């Protein structure tokens, strides 16, 4: 018998198996707890609860480590491509040359959207937030591609996964084009996944679009950095939605909705807006004081993370990417100086030190994306585009697990106990 954890409750002792992963904290398997004790555990926000078993991504937040299928994010960001990382997440191993070419070819053959979807866009107001459009259009994909929604069929799951990864850049670029009143551009499958996305976003039919290699590389790297992040809020949302047997397009739409929030995917938009509000480095101390004031709702956006209590390894890569993009585009945004200074001041302030609040991936990404030409409203859309591969890989992993059950958390009820209905005339 392996390790056991003991629980004493109501005068009785219970033993629960301790399960070991390949690395990281052990978990106490409490699946029998309710049956044996009549009690639930209470863990709002899942701060101590492993919701599933997964072999995709590992994070050690105290050490600032992020591994995809065992490979450190820094090595992937430096040497790999988003397509290669996507293959890795979906299949468990890095592809060889042939496998990569085949995968890229397959993805490129799914980049077009059903023509009727263009009419969908026209139903949105021009000033609609592109995330609102993403939620709607991605959810609507199930109405167009229902030939691949039998989730019990691995081949269907594979096709719908490829479709989602391939169509997301087209959907995102169209959301942008719609908001600025420019014509949609069809995909160009001679370009890379990322080059094609840049062209569909920034190109116009009247002119040849030239993909700038440094921008393509930076964008691809941003996609790699956002590809997966184990059981975060949006991924857990995708898993929970998928646990009922919902089709993958609906599940990913649910993930997009969750990602939209400012505490999650919306943080890079919020971080850049905050930097703009701060403006110059001399205003930083005022905002630092506000962030520390418990009576002030202001927080330093792009700072702090539920899991990382050390430097977010993705933020390190982002910081160096800012310089590369600035050099390639010959831009010099003073907000970068403000960001560097803010980071320095915060990292030397006891409040942030004691609470282990470090810059996260979103702190610098907004500066890069804005230099490339994206409006802030597109930031979360780019995150959703990149995270789609993580979502579908996690969803596939869950559906393939024979022990998979519908997700159904319990609660600690604190409302009124049973009482009798009072007729309206007596209230
Ligand atoms: N600025 C100021 N204080 C902060 C910040 C911040 N950015 N983040 C946390 N704190 C403080 C809290 O007030 C709290 O203080 P207390 O213990 O005195 O009450 C303490 O640090 C712990 O914070 P929690 O909110 O309990 O930590 P949690 O793990 O729940 O939150 C979160 C993590 C939501 C990311 C938080 O740090 C935050 O709101 N950061 C800003 C938003 C942001 O950048 N989100 C991006 C996350 S990365 C991503 O989604 C890709």
- pLDDT for the residue 123: 93
Identify the CATH number of the domain in which residue 10 sits. 2.20.28.60
- Residue listed under structure tokens 């219970």: 14
Q: Does ligand 1 come within 6 angstroms of the Cβ of 360?
A: yes
Atom of ligand 1 nearest to the CA of 265: 50
Q: Could you tell me the distance, in angstroms and rounded to a whole number, from the CA of residue 370 to the centre of ligand 1?
A: 24
User: pLDDT grade, residue 268 (50/70/90)?
Assistant: confident
Q: Does ligand 1 come within 6 angstroms of the Cβ of 157?
A: no
User: How much of the chain is in helix, strand and coil states, percent to nearest 5?
Assistant: 55, 5, 40
- pLDDT for the residue 171: 97
Tell me: pLDDT of 87 over 80: yes
- State whether 200 and 253 are in the same domain: yes
Q: Does ligand 1 come within 6 angstroms of the Cβ of 224?
A: no
Q: Could you tell me the distance, in angstroms and rounded to a whole number, from the CA of residue 306 to the centre of ligand 1?
A: 7
- pLDDT for the residue 384: 97
Instruction: Please name which of 64, 68, 181 lies closest in space to residue 121, comparing C-alpha atoms.
Output: 181
Atom of ligand 1 nearest to the CA of 232: 50
| 305 part of the active site | yes
- pLDDT for the residue 300: 93
- pLDDT for the residue 264: 81
Q: Does residue 357 sit in helix, strand or coil?
A: coil
Q: Does ligand 1 come within 6 angstroms of the Cβ of 302?
A: yes
Q: Whose CA is nearest to atom 41 of ligand 1?
A: 301
- Listing DSSP states for 244-261 in one string gives TT--HHHHHHHHHHHHTS
- State whether 157 and 279 are in the same domain: yes
Q: Could you tell me the distance, in angstroms and rounded to a whole number, from the CA of residue 349 to the centre of ligand 1?
A: 16
Q: Whose CA is nearest to atom 13 of ligand 1?
A: 294
Q: Does ligand 1 come within 6 angstroms of the Cβ of 83?
A: no
* pLDDT tens per residue, range 270-323: 888 999 999 999 999 999 999 999 999 999 999 998 888 888 888 888 888 888
User: pLDDT grade, residue 70 (50/70/90)?
Assistant: very high
- What are φ and ψ of residue 409, in 5° steps? -65, 160
Instruction: Print the domain residue range for 34.
Output: 4-50
> Helices 248-259 and 379-400, interaxial angle, to 10°?
140
- State whether 258 and 188 are in the same domain: yes
Q: Does ligand 1 come within 6 angstroms of the Cβ of 290?
A: no
Q: Could you tell me the distance, in angstroms and rounded to a whole number, from the CA of residue 303 to the centre of ligand 1?
A: 7
- State whether 99 and 246 are in the same domain: yes
Q: Whose CA is nearest to atom 45 of ligand 1?
A: 263
Tell me: pLDDT of 61 over 80: yes
Identify the CATH number of the domain in which residue 368 sits. 1.10.580.10
For range 259-275, the mean pLDDT? 86
Percent above pLDDT 90 for the chain: 80
What are the tokens at 238? 């995708």
- State whether 229 and 351 are in the same domain: yes
- Listing DSSP states for 319-336 in one string gives HHHHHHHHHHHT---HHH
Residue 115 maps to a domain: yes
Percent above pLDDT 70 for the chain: 100
Q: Does ligand 1 come within 6 angstroms of the Cβ of 356?
A: no
Highest mean pLDDT among 147-161, 300-314, 412-426: 412-426
Distance CA 82, CA 72 (A): 14
For the chain, the maximum distance between any two Cα atoms, rounded to a whole number of angstroms, is 79
Which of 68, 228, 305, 312 is the catalytic position?
305
By most ligand atoms within 8 Å of CB, the mutation choice from 235, 236, 298, 304 for ligand 1 is 304
Residue 60 maps to a domain: no
Q: How many domains does the chain have?
A: 2
- pLDDT for the residue 148: 83
- pLDDT for the residue 298: 92
Residue 415 maps to a domain: no
| 362 part of the active site | yes
Atom of ligand 1 nearest to the CA of 304: 37
Instruction: Please name which of 274, 288, 290, 291 lies closest in space to residue 362, comparing C-alpha atoms.
Output: 274
Residue 213 maps to a domain: yes
Q: Does ligand 1 come within 6 angstroms of the Cβ of 230?
A: no
User: pLDDT grade, residue 5 (50/70/90)?
Assistant: very high
For range 28-37, the mean pLDDT? 96
Distance CA 339, CA 319 (A): 10
> Which of 5-14, 69-78, 354-363 has the lowest average pLDDT?
354-363
- State whether 33 and 124 are in the same domain: no
Residue 158 maps to a domain: yes
- State whether 119 and 254 are in the same domain: yes
- pLDDT for the residue 316: 87
Q: Whose CA is nearest to atom 21 of ligand 1?
A: 355
Q: Does ligand 1 come within 6 angstroms of the Cβ of 301?
A: yes
- Residue listed under structure tokens 């700038």: 212
User: pLDDT grade, residue 10 (50/70/90)?
Assistant: confident
Residue 391 maps to a domain: yes
Q: Whose CA is nearest to atom 30 of ligand 1?
A: 306
Q: Does ligand 1 come within 6 angstroms of the Cβ of 315?
A: no
Atom of ligand 1 nearest to the CA of 351: 3
Q: Does ligand 1 come within 6 angstroms of the Cβ of 387?
A: no
Residue 301 maps to a domain: yes
Cβ distance 288 to 338 under 8 Å? no
- State whether 235 and 316 are in the same domain: yes
* pLDDT tens per residue, range 196-219: 999 999 999 999 999 999 999 999
- State whether 320 and 267 are in the same domain: yes
- State whether 199 and 140 are in the same domain: yes
Residue 385 maps to a domain: yes
For range 379-390, the mean pLDDT? 96
- State whether 164 and 265 are in the same domain: yes
- State whether 228 and 366 are in the same domain: yes
Average pLDDT value over all residues in the chain: 94
């Amino acid at each position: 018998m392996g390790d056991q954890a003991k629980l004493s409750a109501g005068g009785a002792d219970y033993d629960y198996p301790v399960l070991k992963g390949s690395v990281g904290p052990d978990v106490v398997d409490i699946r029998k707890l309710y049956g044996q004790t009549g009690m639930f555990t209470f863990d709002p926000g899942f701060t101590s609860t492993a919701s599933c078993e997964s072999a995709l991504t590992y994070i050690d937040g105290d050490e600032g480590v992020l591994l995809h299928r065992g490979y450190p994010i820094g090595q992937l960001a430096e040497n790999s491509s988003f397509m290669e990382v996507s293959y890795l997440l979906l299949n468990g191993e890095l592809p060889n040359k042939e496998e990569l070419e085949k995968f890229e070819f397959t993805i490129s053959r799914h980049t077009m959207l059903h023509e009727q979807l263009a009419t969908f866009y026209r139903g949105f107001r021009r000033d609609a937030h592109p995330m609102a459009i993403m939620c709607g259009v991605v959810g609507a994909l199930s109405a167009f591609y229902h030939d691949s929604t039998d989730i019990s069929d691995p081949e269907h799951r594979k096709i719908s996964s490829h479709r989602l990864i391939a169509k997301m850049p087209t959907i995102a670029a169209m959301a942008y084009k719609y908001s600025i009143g420019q014509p949609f551009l069809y995909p160009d499958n001679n370009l890379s996944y990322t080059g094609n996305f840049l062209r569909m976003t920034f190109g116009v039919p009247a002119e040849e679009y030239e993909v700038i290699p440094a921008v393509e590389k930076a964008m691809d790297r941003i996609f790699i950095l956002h590809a997966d992040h184990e059981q975060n809020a949006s991924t857990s949302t995708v898993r929970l939605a998928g646990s009922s047997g919902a089709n993958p397009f609906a599940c990913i739409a649910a993930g997009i909705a969750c990602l939209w929030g400012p505490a999650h995917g919306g943080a890079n938009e919020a971080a850049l807006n905050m930097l703009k509000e701060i403006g110059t480095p001399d205003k930083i101390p005022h905002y630092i004081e506000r962030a520390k004031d418990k009576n002030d709702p202001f927080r330093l956006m792009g700072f702090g993370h539920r899991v990382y209590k050390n430097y977010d390894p993705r933020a390190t890569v982002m910081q160096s990417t800012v310089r590369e993009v600035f050099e390639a585009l010959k831009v010099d945004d003073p907000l970068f100086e403000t960001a560097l200074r803010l980071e320095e001041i915060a990292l030397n302030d006891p409040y942030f030190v004691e609470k282990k609040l470090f810059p996260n991936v979103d702190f610098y990404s907004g500066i890069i994306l804005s230099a490339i030409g994206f409006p802030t409203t597109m930031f979360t859309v780019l995150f959703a585009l990149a995270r789609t591969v993580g979502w579908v890989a996690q969803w596939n992993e869950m559906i393939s697990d024979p022990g998979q059950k519908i997700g159904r958390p319990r609660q600690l009820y604190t409302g009124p106990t049973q009482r009798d209905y009072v007729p309206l005339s007596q209230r």
